[in-house]
Amino acid sequence: MEFDGRKRVVIENLQPSLECGRYPVKRCEGELVEVRVDIFCDSHDELGAVLLFRREEQADWESLPLYHKGNDRWENAFVVSEPGRYFFTVRAWVDHFATWQHFLTKKFNAGQDISVDLKVGSILLEQASRRVPSEFSVPLLDRARDLLSASEAAAAVLLATDKEITAMMSLYPDLSLAVEYSPALEIQVDSKKAVFSTWYELFPRSTGSGSHGTFRDCERRLPEIAAMGFDILYLPPIHPIGFTNRKGRNNTTVSEEGDPGSPWAIGSSFGGHKDIEPQLGSMEDFVGLINAAASYGIEVAMDIAFQCSPDHPYVKEHPEWFKTRPDGSIQYAENPPKRYEDIVPFDFECEEWRSLWEELESVVLFWIEKGVRIFRVDNPHTKPFAFWEWLISRIRKRYPEVIFLSEAFTRPKVMYRLAKIGFNQSYTYFTWRNTKEELTNYFNELTKGSHVEYFRPNLWPNTPDILPEYLQIGGVKASAVRLVLAATLSSSYGIYGPVFENGVVDALPGTEEYRDAEKYEIKNWAEKKDGEELRSLIKRVNQARRENPSLQQIRNLRFYSVNNEYLLFYGKATSDLSNVVLVVVNLDPFHPQSGTLKLPLQDLSVSPGQPLFLDDLLSGERFVWSGERSRVTLDPQRSPALLLSVQRQLRQEGQYEYY
């Protein structure tokens, strides 16, 4: 673009932005995007500015005025209505007519001669008449003449500054020397489920009754999963499982007859990543499960694990995609001291990397065409960032509603990078944050500053790979604590379903791994009768999440004061305060804990003398709290937490207990 020294406006610090626009910020459909920018120029001229935005598919920009908020800060907002890519930028200019109006008024009020200034204004109006639609040309020319023929200076000033002429000149400004922020910034707009989702992980092979489960067996679990309030059913890999180096029970290197192997050892003579383990059923059965789940308001999420068993057809058909060791064998996966002899990774540095990328993209597209729109991606941090950025951007161009969950328990900067390049959600360190200080510091990190623009935490109290020490020691009561925390600290959470709800906390000594892990053997959850206590809590918590919009967000998390290190006090509110939920959690799964809460009355727009009416969404009890401080006691034998919904309108005063 040719330099033009007459363009004097400076546009800086356009927000929201991530690394100067290198990566898109994230929003969800229907969300308001609040835009802030610094605009100024030399001298004392008045400025005009507009916010420009459009969907990727739109040819023309939509426009909204920007409003000066003081100290050269300008703001406005727009709504992103549907999933996809949006772009926005800012255009600004010196508003010579507004500047002229401003100085004309000042001169008149100072008693100075304005005759020459009126001639300047007349010229500005004549120039404007040549750029406005024809129906406005005559009124502008008439006003130009009226300025010069006015009998008194006061009358001329009124003609120069009335609302009609000001609005017309504002609507059709002189943009010949306008400046536009470039390049335009990008927003990745996701479906609402990318922000608010409730996951239930289930091994289909464990849904049978005394034998290998199938997709049809899995269908029979749908009513129960829906009744607990889950809207995503996540299945570990459903592909054929390799036989070479198949792992036995508890990850032993020698399998016995009947051992099913790890689902993550993908590929056998029955096929690879585009095929289904025969014992689970047919492709038609899988599509049937997707359709049946949809009838309950549940979407099926698939595991994407880009790795192979030594038996995978890729190994024979494309040996160039794998790393060969000096002894001629294929390099299997390792994370010393752990060894995964049943898995061989792709070599993303191979000479044929382009064909490898294209094949892996075809795997994702294959399952999308079968009806899958949500993918939990296994260990994405062990594949190149450039690959994921390429893959996800290409998928989103065709299917903007697709959701990718990053299962990356790795270094923070790596996890954040994966989120920046396109993953909608991410696993977190929540699993190992147990104390009040740890939880407060970590979630302040996730919900404050630039991280909130792109990183969406999905919280899991447990996974098939991880049984945290807190759950091992605390049992069912500890599970209840972690459930409430996961479901309310973030807007997306998940549980490793039957294991969690049945309170299974048996670990291999000295590890965070399950004893008799389901990864290596078939369970029979259909016969398991435990877990009613946790299932009941899960239902109440998920119902609270569905009915309270404040719990469906992550940016609105705020921590509050309570004088007990075992009590965590926080809250969430919608921007208009129409829905507010305050949460108090007892982090001690063994003992009752008491403390005095300092209520965030100012945040709630509640005056100090005004009573606060609260409904506990877990117990059904109702309270009235008066004043800034209130005393609570939480006994883990009764309930791990209070989920207090603030009532703006009192229902029946006699139903509330005063504190």
For residue 268, what is the DSSP state?
B
CA angle 391, 497, 492 (to 5 degrees): 50
Active site residue 311: no
DSSP assignment string, 347-359: -TTSTTHHHHHHH
303 neighbors 344 (Cβ within 8 angstroms): no
CA distances, 332 to each of 308, 322, 347, 357 (Å): 9, 9, 11, 20
Q: How many CA atoms lie within 13 A of 543 on its CB side?
A: 13
452 neighbors 446 (Cβ within 8 angstroms): yes
554 neighbors 613 (Cβ within 8 angstroms): no
Rounded Cα gap, residues 280 and 300, in angstroms: 15
- The separation between the first and the last C-alpha atoms of the chain, rounded to the nearest angstrom, is 68
Rounded Cα gap, residues 203 and 489, in angstroms: 27
- Interhelix angle 153-161/96-109, rounded to 10 degrees, is 150
456 neighbors 446 (Cβ within 8 angstroms): no
The set of residues, in sequence order, having a beta carbon less than 8 Å from that of 7 and lying 6+ positions away, is 177, 178, 179
Residue tagged active-site, from 378, 453, 588, 616: 378
CB atoms within 10 A of CB 628: 14
203 neighbors 234 (Cβ within 8 angstroms): no
**Distance of alpha carbon 165 from its chain centroid, rounded?**
46
The set of residues, in sequence order, having a beta carbon less than 8 Å from that of 322 and lying 6+ positions away, is 308, 314, 315, 330, 331, 344, 345, 346, 347, 350
Which amino acid, 276? I
Question: For the stretch 430-469, what's the b/e string if a residue is b when 16 or more beta carbons lie within 10 angstroms of its beta carbon?
Answer: bbebbebeebeebbeebbeeebbbbbbbbbbbbbbebbbe
626 neighbors 659 (Cβ within 8 angstroms): yes
| Overall residue count recorded for the chain in this entry | 659
Active site residue 72: no
- Interhelix angle 115-129/153-161, rounded to 10 degrees, is 30
Structure-token pair, residue 51: 């916010």
* Alpha helices (runs of H) in 245-322, residue ranges in sequence order: 283-295, 313-317
Residue tagged active-site, from 407, 453, 588, 615: 407
Quick one: which of 54, 111, 113, 42 has its CA closest to 85? 54
The residues annotated as belonging to the active site are 378, 407
